[in-house]
Amino acid sequence: MSLKSVKEPEKNVRVIEFGCDRKTFDEAVTAVYRRKAPKLTVPGFRPGKAPQRFIEKMYGSGIFYEDAVNDMIPVLYPDALKESGLDPVSQPEFDMVELNDEGLTLSAKFYIKPEVKIEGYKELSVKKVVNEVTDEAVDNEIKTVRERNARSVEITDRPAKIGDTVTLDYSGSVDGELFEGGTAENQPLELGSGHFIPGFEDQVAGHSIDEEFDVNVTFPEDYNAKELAGKAAVFKCKIHAINEKDVPELDDEFVADVSEFNTVDEYKADMRAKLEKREADRADNEAKDAIIDKLTEALEADIPEVMFENEVNSELQNYDSRLRSQGLSLDMYVKYTGMTLDKMKEQFRPSAERQVKLRLALEKIAEQEKVEVTDDEVEAEYADIAKSYNMEAEEVKARILADDIKADLKVKKAMELVEAATKYTAE
């Protein structure tokens, strides 16, 4: 056994002392000597042939100690930690306590999870309102589908109007001077979309193909280009093409084209069911958020700062992974948005604090309610993860410990227990 003692120098901090006998340490020193001797020069000996005692005499008796200690830490520490029964939430800080004829003694200092208290989680009451899906909501959803399937029809016999997409040239100037980014050719613009400066699209409407005209606008006071904010500008414009949307009629033919149904009534009924499901999910999610808020408020714990920092860094890594899946990276995002890592960490901080508090609350609830997870449930979770990531279950098992799966499932069950006990009200 390598564990020698466990100390509590301050709240939520533990220092464990562990080590090995002198014989074991000397064997580690010899192993380092064999690894390093070929790189050391000792007069009178060929590289790698100088005896250990000669090297130690020339370079000092402790020449191999530091490497030997570093080699011993990953061997001794895991067993000592397991024996201690502690669950660190920070990376350990190692130190050498002593080395004598009895052997080597090391220490590891780390933070642990705080003592947690939570009550009243079976008497929660939260608002949950599932709004009725109206005929108008169904019609609007179907209208969106119709517009998404609209054809673009070229218009040559009338001026542009709101709702059309025009192709135009424009060049903008302030006080008679052209400004950067204010000129374009053959630019498509949907009138009424609000993509351009307020007032621009309304003034383009009413003009015809090949007509040249001026658009007079004023940049908003909060415009992102500070040199243009609040300034009056003139855009010289010319329309090259006008296209309007030809939105298909809602009939059985359209329904058959865009869905698995054959009639308008069937399609409407399915759309209503989907909207009702969406509305129920929204209500469930809002209610769950309210439950989480109440759990985190009810939590009593002196949480080490390192737990929040770890969660922030984890969220940052996850964000980086999502960016990389889109062909970007965190470095590129920071460069092009003008953000800094510190500012991003500030943005992640509230959600990180919430997540840490929620996890601690649910772990305590699982403990108090004696929540159990069976081996079959762990296996089923492995299978679900493997299916989600298109991996073999054994590959998942090699990456995720069963104890971690079990801990996550306990937390999940604790949340389900709280949700089942919660009273839901309409007000």
Asked if residue 26 is part of any domain, the answer here is yes
Give the mean pLDDT of 316-326. 90
pLDDT at 185 over 60: yes
Asked which of 214, 246, 278 is the last residue of a domain, the reply is 246
At residue 38, does pLDDT exceed 90?
no
Last residue of a domain, one of 219, 246, 273: 246
- What value does the mean pLDDT of the chain take? 93
Percent of the chain with pLDDT over 70: 100
Q: Flag the least confident range among 211-220, 221-230, 283-292, 399-408.
A: 221-230
- At residue 329, the pLDDT reads 86
Residue 121 domain-assigned?
A: no
Same domain, 284 and 171: no
Query: Is 171 within the bounds of a domain?
Result: yes
Note whether 406 and 297 are same-domain residues. yes
Per-residue three-class SS string for the chain: CCEEEEEEEECCEEEEEEEEEHHHHHHHHHHHHHHHHHHCCCCCCCCCCCCHHHHHHHHCCCCCHHHHHHHHHHHHHHHHHHHHCCCECCCCEEEEEEEECCEEEEEEEEEECCCEECCCCCCCEEECCCCCCCHHHHHHHHHHHHHHCCEEEEECCCCCCCCCEEEEEEEEEECCEEEEEEEEEEEEEECCCCCCCCCHHHHHCCCCCCCEEEEEEECCCCCCCCCCCCCEEEEEEEEEEEEEEECCCCCHHHHHHHCCCCCHHHHHHHHHHHHHHHHHHHHHHHHHHHHHHHHHHHCEECCCHHHHHHHHHHHHHHHHHHHHHCCCCHHHHHHHHCCCHHHHHHHHHHHHHHHHHHHHHHHHHHHHCCCCCCHHHHHHHHHHHHHHCCCCHHHHHHHCCHHHHHHHHHHHHHHHHHHHHCEEECC
Residues 288 and 386 in one domain: yes
408 with 268, same domain: the answer is yes
Indicate if 272 and 421 belong to the same structural domain: yes
Domain at 71, CATH number = 3.30.70.1050
Average pLDDT (114-135) is 95
**297 and 418 assigned to the same domain:** yes
Residue 110 has pLDDT above 80, yes or no: yes
Looking at the fold, whether 270 and 415 belong to one and the same domain comes out as yes
293 and 413 share one domain:
yes
Judge whether 75 lies within some domain: yes
The parent domain of residue 205 ranges over 151-246
Q: Is residue 188 domain-resident?
A: yes
**Domain-located, residue 136:** no
What's the CATH number where 225 sits? Answer: 3.10.50.40
- CATH classification of the domain holding 411: 1.10.3120.10
Is 119 a member of any domain? no
Regarding whether 274 and 417 lie in a shared domain, the answer is yes
User: Is 391 within a domain?
Assistant: yes
The predicted model gives 346-363 an average pLDDT of 96
Mark whether 284 and 386 lie in a shared domain: yes
Query: Averaged over 132-145, what is the pLDDT?
Result: 96
**Stretch 117-126: mean pLDDT:** 96
Total domains in the chain come to 3
pLDDT of 56 reads 82
**Taking residues 345-366, what's their average pLDDT?**
96
Say whether both 30 and 86 belong to one domain: yes
- 243: pLDDT confidence band, cut at 50, 70 and 90? very high
What digits encode the pLDDT tens for the residues 400-423?
Answer: 999 999 999 999 999 999 999 999
- Pick the last residue of a domain from 112, 137, 170: 112
- Give the model's pLDDT for residue 327: 87
Both 301 and 221 in one domain: the answer is no
Give the mean model confidence (pLDDT) for residues 19-40. Answer: 90
For residue 1, the model assigns a pLDDT of 56
